[in-house]
Amino acid sequence: MLDELDGAERLQLMKFVCSFAWADLEIRPEEREFVSRLVRRLELGRDEAHQVEQWLKLPPPPEAVDPFEIPLAHREIFIEAVRGIIQADGEVAPEERESLALLEQLLRDAA
């Protein structure tokens, strides 16, 4: 499924993943490892991987993470990746659960 994404969509996916990693205001080692594996699976270039590292140091601004910009054909990919990052550390914080539910609701309503 990930191979269906073009370069811009792959980076957009990582922006969402990093944003959700920050939902509980902490990046844990397991989340960092999840992000690293996803970067490798997406075969991001050096510049894109560097950008992802920056998002792990400082989250993307909220206005840069707009669910309505997710292509309709790829919404399930984004939801699954977000679900993966919030479960990566073995604990799903209430903030993470609420953020995922909101994303799913927004994407359903926008369909």
pLDDT at 70: 94
Residue 24 pLDDT grade (very low, low, confident, very high; cuts 50, 70, 90): confident
pLDDT at 111: 67
Q: What are the distances in angstroms from CA 64 to CA 41, 85, 96, 97? A: 23, 19, 18, 21
Model confidence pLDDT, tens digit, residues 47-98: 999 999 999 999 999 999 999 999 999 999 999 999 999 999 999 989 889 9
For the chain, domains (ranges, CATH) are 2-110 (1.10.3680.10)
Q: What are the distances in angstroms from CA 25 to CA 8, 53, 91, 96, 100? A: 26, 16, 14, 10, 15
pLDDT at 36: 98
